[in-house]
Chain A
Amino acid sequence: MSTTENAPLLTVDKLIVEYPSKRFRAKPFRALTDINITIGQGETLGLVGESGSGKTTLGRAVLGLAPVTGGKIIFEGNDISNATRKQRRTLSRDLQVVFQDPYTSLNPALEIGDILAEPLGVQGMEKTAAKKRVKELLDQVGLPSDAIHRLPREFSGGQRQRVAIARALALSPKLIVCDEPVSALDLTTQARVLDLFLQIQNDTGVSYLFVSHDLDVVRHISHRVAVMYHGEIVEQGPADVVTRDPEHPYTQRLLLASPVPDPDRQEKRRADRHRLLEIQRQQTEQAGALA
């Protein structure tokens, strides 16, 4: 949190997120424990972990959609961990989101043009200016300009995700939280959308907090990677280190679990995985024996 030239865009410091329990007087459910991350200007932090590891919750906490129980979220030097709706409105110019499911993240009753104009209207942009900006955005994400008057259901999953990306880009934000933005897409569509993310970062210098369960996706798009496991970050560092030579046992398992598209190399990976699991099992046994 130094206030030097290279102060990070986003700093998350000892963040704790707890959800109140449904049952009376039961202990609240702790979704995140002691999270520390930073994201610099134009940088992508990949967040990888299995379902229930808390990676989506971390993204939502940054966006103000999850309750912050402890710790701080600092964006451009301001503590936003408990920002009011009014502060959020100012913040939304710089902080945006792309959700996983392109089918439910767009209001089915609104035309694409209205969906894209919504964040512009909130910031008080005039109608004609907003219309011009919407056209620019459609062009930027590679959609035809006649999309303005069409409804979300008339588009495929990949195209809808482009609309969602365009909405996030509308206000030229500094950070976009991407919550599994390519998991619901086909392989070839995923490749094109990833290209789009990279292209946009090249053009605009935006930063991403990129949440995914897929180590390959995270490796491809991230500068740095953080690995989450049971609500904690177990390992973080430069992408090529974490995704090729990980230190934490869970990351090691994760790396060897994802199959490669070649039978012989996959056979070798399978053998490696068996060896790793065996070693880890022995280590746990030893640890158990010592305890």
Chain B
Amino acid sequence: MSDSVETAAAAAAPVPPAPTGQSGTVVRSTVLRRLFRNPLGLIAMAILTTITLLAALAPVIAPFQENFANIAKTLAAPDAVNILGTDSAGRDVWSRLLYGGQLTLLSAVLCAAVAIAIGLPSGLIAGYYAGKFEAVSNWMVSILMSLPGLIVLLTIRAAFGPSVWISMIAFGILISPSYFRLTRSAVQSVRNELYVDAARVSGLSDRSIIARHIFSVVRAPIIIQTAAIAGVAIAIQSGLEFLGLGDPAKATWGVMLSEGFKNVYLTPTLLFWPAFAMALTIGALVLLGNAIRDALEDADKIKHRRKKMHDAEHAASASAAKAARKTLAAVEAGTEHHLVKVTNLGVGYPQADGSIKKVVDDVSFHVDRGEILGIVGESGSGKSQTAFSILGLLPDTARIVGGAIQFDGNYTVAPGDEKVNQDRLSKLRGKRISYIPQEPMSNLDPAFTIGYQLVTPMVRVLGISKAEATKRAMKLLSDVGIVNPERTFKAYPHEVSGGMAQRVLIAGAISCEPDLIIADEPTTALDVTVQADVLELIRDLQRSLGVGVILVTHNFGVVADLCDRVAVMQNGRLVEDGPVRDILRNPKQKYTQTLLASMLEGKTPMTMLVSSEKEPVA
């Protein structure tokens, strides 16, 4: 393993592929630092370095030659001369262990090197070019993998003699498919990335593209794989030698193991030392592989303080205490008639350093029955987080840091609550509050028919029979403007278009006759012409059902089309809200004015949109 540590370092430090030497310095330092910060990784590296050094310095350190035999002193116990004793031929165990380490580690490196030399380039080529080369190499790999490895190794030993090197080269070839497959799948995943296309347009040759853009992707998995393969190689090689197939003239850990086994009743320690060395090396390799993997995955995760059921009670009691301090102790009189009322809502995420990052801050608005409220803002404005806190669908790590949400006269988030109360909300969600998502396709399960996905919730929520629910689903599908409801009912999600899928989801959203629909960018993923149809549909349904709607969007055109009132959000705060005509025609706040000024509609083409002053960076 003399190389394993170095390889690890070289791993994280990109082999400079192109003339621009220092690419990825930032990545290198952080990965290495993370690796050193991991105690397991540190221990593994320390062990491997020590073993490697000991093996490398064997000629200097070892008191005897590996095969120097003192016939007068066989199977001796440890003493001042032979610190680990001697074996049945009177050879010094400590010296043999050091020399054996040399050979064992080198042969493992050879095995990994052979496997990489075959698997990596072929995997890169097969993954990048695909086509015939990939087909042929897949066949070869399948043949290699179907060979019984141990039997092949025994045959080779019989044909070429007991050389460690030959058997390890053979094993390297046998194990190369693991590198091939790893590399190929990693390359396939980036082959069609846009930055590879951009490099092609730049006229980079395929070789430079592979070296610069593709190789960096396979680097990390290759290193992790190598740590594992080297361990396996040591085990296999020692296994062969243990069976007595090794070269008795050379000291390796496997040969020593075999020798020790023969004398296990006389001197059990002879078996112990090589086994210990092997266990230590293989264990350290595995740990190192794991540590590198951990270091490469973005490590700085916040530890989830997973508080479960009892936590809800805890929060409830805490909230009671907090509620006493808050002024908004109960639903304020005179606000019960609002369908939804959000008061001074704050939502935050705990950070690694213990602080809380607020994504929604002091937001207040209300929605009445039969009214459409638009929440407008750019990405990161907190508009979706606000909508999700009404739905109670915030991620586990989110905390309500202030304010309250009431639905139809009852709190779903009472003042002082840290979390959305799921008990209260699960009774409402899907029944009285429903949701239309942004990506229609990812919100339908591809494994079930559309009909099944519509009928099941109705049977559960409304408690009606399956036949009745089916009848209802058909009616809903035709209500949302689907021309052939039977066919859509039987179809799987991939068989319908995006616009159709969104209609299906809208049908699902109104299936249980909700009072409130929350639509999160319901038309953003759709073509403009389809968007117009879907907006039409939402408008008609809202009119005929009289539901309240919260429409989250970034598009002022959509707002103008549907909404009665608008709330504009920026950086988690509510900038202004009011009737749609007031906000769109006479926005009071600077931010709203900027947003509206960015609209292209009605602008003179080919003119600067944002004022001609030295423009700020986007």
Among B279-287, B403-411, B608-616, the one that faces the other chain is B608-616
Contact indicator A217/B584 (Cβ below 8 Å): no
Most interface-central of B204, B554, B559, B602 (chain A CB within 10 A): B204
Among B17-25, B92-100, B454-462, B508-516, the one that faces the other chain is B17-25
Q: Does B594 contact A (CB under 8 A)?
A: yes
Interface size class of A (residues with CB under 8 A): 35 or more
Q: Does A216 contact B (CB under 8 A)?
A: yes
Chain B positions within 8 Å of A, measured between CB atoms, are: 14, 18-20, 23-27, 193-195, 197-206, 208, 212-213, 216, 378-379, 498, 527-532, 535-536, 554-561, 580-581, 584-585, 594-603, 605-610, 615-618
Contact indicator B203/A92 (Cβ below 8 Å): yes
Q: In the complex, which residues of chain A have a beta carbon less than 8 angstroms from the beta carbon of B595?
A: 187-188
Quick one: which of A92, A101, A216, A258 contacts B202, CB cutoff 8 A?
A92
Q: How far is the CB of A261 from chain B (nearest CB, A)?
A: 4
Quick one: which of A50, A90, A95, A214 contacts B529, CB cutoff 8 A?
A50
Q: Mark A252-291, 1 if CB is under 8 A from B, else 0.
A: 0110111111111110001001000000000000000000
Quick one: which of B26, B195, B206 contacts A105, CB cutoff 8 A?
B195
Quick one: which of B378, B529, B581, B607 contacts A187, CB cutoff 8 A?
B378
Contact indicator A266/B557 (Cβ below 8 Å): yes
Known contacts A114-B23, A260-B557, A263-B580: A195-B615 contact under CB 8 Å: yes
Q: In the complex, which residues of chain A have a beta carbon less than 8 angstroms from the beta carbon of B532?
A: 256-259, 273
Q: In the complex, which residues of chain B have a beta carbon less than 8 angstroms from the beta carbon of A104?
A: 193-195
Contact indicator A192/B618 (Cβ below 8 Å): yes
Known contacts A219-B605, A260-B601: A192-B198 contact under CB 8 Å: no
CA distance A256 to B532 in the complex (A): 9
Is chain A's interface secondary structure helix, strand, loop, or mixed overall?
helix
Q: In the complex, which residues of chain B have a beta carbon less than 8 angstroms from the beta carbon of A264?
A: 581
Question: Residue of A at shortest CB range from B604?
Answer: A220
Number of A-B pairs, beta carbon distance below 8 Å:
214
Contact indicator A85/B203 (Cβ below 8 Å): yes
CA distance A144 to B370 in the complex (A): 50
CA distance A4 to B204 in the complex (A): 33
Known contacts A97-B201, A187-B378: A109-B216 contact under CB 8 Å: yes
Q: In the complex, which residues of chain B have a beta carbon less than 8 angstroms from the beta carbon of A114?
A: 20, 23
Interface residues of A in 151-184 (CB under 8 A from B): 151, 156-159, 161-162, 164, 167
Known contacts A216-B601, A259-B555: A118-B527 contact under CB 8 Å: no
Contact indicator A263/B199 (Cβ below 8 Å): no
Known contacts A50-B528, A91-B203, A159-B617: A261-B599 contact under CB 8 Å: yes
Q: How far is the CB of A71 from chain B (nearest CB, A)?
A: 21
Q: Does A47 contact B (CB under 8 A)?
A: no
Q: How far is the CB of A283 from chain B (nearest CB, A)?
A: 17
Q: In the complex, which residues of chain A have a beta carbon less than 8 angstroms from the beta carbon of B581?
A: 263-264
Q: In the complex, which residues of chain B have a beta carbon less than 8 angstroms from the beta carbon of A151?
A: 26-27
CA distance A193 to B600 in the complex (A): 13
Q: How far is the CB of A21 from chain B (nearest CB, A)?
A: 16
Contact indicator B557/A121 (Cβ below 8 Å): no
Q: Does A31 contact B (CB under 8 A)?
A: no
Q: Does A136 contact B (CB under 8 A)?
A: no
20 examples of A-B residue contacts, CB within 8 angstroms: A65-B201, A85-B203, A88-B200, A90-B203, A99-B198, A111-B25, A114-B20, A142-B617, A164-B198, A186-B378, A188-B595, A194-B600, A213-B527, A220-B606, A253-B529, A258-B528, A260-B560, A261-B559, A261-B601, A265-B560
Contact indicator A198/B26 (Cβ below 8 Å): no
Known contacts A99-B197, A262-B585: A186-B554 contact under CB 8 Å: yes
Contact indicator A240/B609 (Cβ below 8 Å): no
Contact indicator A261/B527 (Cβ below 8 Å): no
